[in-house]
Amino acid sequence: MATVSFDKATRIYPGTEKPAVDGLDIHIEDGEFLVLVGPSGCGKSTSLRMLAGLEDVNGGAIRIGDRDVTHLPPKDRDIAMVFQNYALYPHMTVADNMGFALKIAGVNKAEIRQKVEEAAKILDLTEYLDRKPKALSGGQRQRVAMGRAIVREPQVFLMDEPLSNLDAKLRVSTRTQIASLQRRLGITTVYVTHDQVEAMTMGDRVAVLKDGLLQQIDTPRNMYDKPANLFVAGFIGSPAMNLVEVPVTDGGVKFGKSVVPVQRDALNATSDKTVTVGVRPEHFDISDAEQGLAVTVNVVEELGADAYVYGTAKVGDDSKDLVVRVNGRDVPEKGSQLHIVPRSGETHVFSTSTGARLSD
């Protein structure tokens, strides 16, 4: 097992000036499950491929354990990668696919068989060892690709969106399997996804990237409670946080007919006349008409225990779309009005001009 370090690692593709990955600084602990997440084109897959040795590093360094692997070929890095498309050999059986890397490395047949059978047992693949990949479902193929990585007993697992080809229900169950498997094996894992729910449910820590730059790295809980900037606030959480630009007033910020208290230090940290207040859909309270912000209900998504109200509110001179979570047993009618007040202590305040977090 090993730690992994990106030390100001930078990748600039030929013919471009803007780095795809710009001075990435991350230290991953031994046995940690780190998830890289962000929108398409943010540099997460490039970062993973730099670690794998599949992309050149134009600046900085990458270390696995005590070794500088920045310019080592992939085969010398002691890593195993699980790709989005599984990359199985169609003419080989499941057992041969799983043991192929060991065969190339010159491991004897008996040892290969033993390791393949152990991995198959962990992954519930024992009865499929003699089948070809075309006779398997997407979820089973995905597990074969995992098995191929496990038998190599690498220092680091790299996973590049391994669940994106699976249907929604299978994706939920498989991500649970991968997370519990990683805990059991204790192998340092770097996992790339564009799905922030996947990131929040699987990772010990989550690193959010945008335009090749690291925005924040933290535990899922801290990232949810204290997003570092407007981008992270809007990206992490499902449905996304409501972000509303509001005027600064004495003692806080004006939110409809209510004043949301904000620490004076936070407001003194910006010269903006307005700040952006963030409130998650579950952190609104429904109030009477004398308080808060009036929201006209456009659509209601009923999920059983909860329901999400998608509505429109007048904020200053602008019309703003908002999402509010309400009790599933007490759902408002479409076209009706709700008055909402942000719950005390659950608001986030950001600088409108820089996007940086102002509140504690």
Confidence of residue 225 (pLDDT cuts 50, 70, 90): very high
List pLDDT tens digits, range 23-32.
999 999 999 9
1 or 314: which carries more pLDDT confidence?
Answer: 314
Q: What per-residue confidence (pLDDT) applies to 14?
A: 94
Quote the number of domains for the chain.
Answer: 2
The reply to whether 187 and 263 lie within a common domain is: no
Confidence of residue 330 (pLDDT cuts 50, 70, 90): confident
Query: Does the pLDDT at position 188 exceed 80?
Result: yes
Query: E strands within the chain?
Result: 4-11, 21-28, 33-37, 59-64, 67-68, 79-82, 156-160, 188-193, 205-210, 213-218, 242-249, 252-255, 258-261, 274-279, 284-287, 293-302, 306-315, 318-327, 337-342, 347-351
Q: Could you give the 3-state DSSP secondary structure of residue 172?
A: helix
The reply to whether 48 and 144 lie within a common domain is: yes
Q: Kindly report the average pLDDT of the chain as a whole number.
A: 90
Query: Does the pLDDT at position 129 exceed 70?
Result: yes
Least confident range of 220-234, 240-254, 289-303, 335-349: 240-254
Confidence of residue 87 (pLDDT cuts 50, 70, 90): confident
Q: What per-residue confidence (pLDDT) applies to 287?
A: 83
Query: Does the pLDDT at position 153 exceed 90?
Result: no
The reply to whether 161 and 306 lie within a common domain is: no
Confidence of residue 274 (pLDDT cuts 50, 70, 90): confident
The reply to whether 220 and 262 lie within a common domain is: no
Residue 219 lies in a domain: yes
Of 58, 93, 336, 330, which Cα lies nearest the Cα of 212? Answer: 58
Confidence of residue 269 (pLDDT cuts 50, 70, 90): low
The reply to whether 127 and 275 lie within a common domain is: no
Residue 360 lies in a domain: no
In the chain, the percentage of residues whose pLDDT exceeds 70 is: 97
Residue 183 domain boundaries: 4-231
| Average pLDDT over every residue of 191-197 | 93
Query: Does the pLDDT at position 37 exceed 70?
Result: yes
The reply to whether 134 and 9 lie within a common domain is: yes
Q: What per-residue confidence (pLDDT) applies to 223?
A: 94
Q: Give the CA dihedral 257, 258, 264, 267, nearest 10 degrees.
A: -50
CATH number assigned to the domain comprising residue 10: 3.40.50.300
List pLDDT tens digits, range 278-320.
999 999 988 877 777 889 999 999 988 899 999 999 877 788 8
Q: What per-residue confidence (pLDDT) applies to 282?
A: 93
Least confident range of 56-60, 177-181, 215-219, 289-293: 289-293
What lies within 8 Å, CB to CB, of 107 at 6+ separation is none
Domain end marker among 166, 197, 231 = 231
Q: What per-residue confidence (pLDDT) applies to 13?
A: 94
Residue 42 lies in a domain: yes
120 or 261: which carries more pLDDT confidence?
Answer: 120
Q: What per-residue confidence (pLDDT) applies to 352?
A: 86
Rounded Cα distance, 118 and 127, in Å: 13
The reply to whether 42 and 170 lie within a common domain is: yes
Q: What per-residue confidence (pLDDT) applies to 316?
A: 74
Domain end marker among 231, 260, 284 = 231
The reply to whether 308 and 175 lie within a common domain is: no
| Average pLDDT over every residue of 56-80 | 93
Q: What per-residue confidence (pLDDT) applies to 173?
A: 87
The reply to whether 219 and 278 lie within a common domain is: no
Residue 359 lies in a domain: no
Residue 236 lies in a domain: no
Q: What per-residue confidence (pLDDT) applies to 347?
A: 87
Residue 267 lies in a domain: yes
The reply to whether 168 and 265 lie within a common domain is: no
